[in-house]
Amino acid sequence: MSKQKDGGPIYPIFEARHANADYDITHIGMSLRDYFAAQALQGMISADHKSERSMSEMVTLAYKIADAMIAEREKQNESV
């Protein structure tokens, strides 16, 4: 199973921990995929507040939109 492309962290906070002279650096933050999905969902809810779609359907669509945005972003970065 391949790892979901999430675009990396948005607003990352980096933590560095020192243990036995080795540094462990991790990032904590919302992924770009989650950020895009949240923005898409917000737009759908505000534009279509009387929708016949269930919340689950809207969330699924929001993540499909986010995945398409990340794919397009990667395509744009490859052509530069």
Each residue's pLDDT tens digit in the chain (80 positions)? 566 788 877 876 666 666 565 555 566 678 899 999 999 999 988 886 667 888 899 999 999 999 999 999 988 888 86
pLDDT at 64 (0 to 100): 97
pLDDT, position 19:
59
- What local confidence, expressed as pLDDT, does residue 79 receive? 80
Closest CA to 8 of 37, 38, 28: 28
* Residue 6: predicted pLDDT: 83
pTM of the model: 0.70
Per-residue pLDDT, 34 = 93
Segments of 1-80 assigned E as strands: 9-19, 22-31
Helical axes 32-47 vs 55-78, angle rounded to 10°? 130
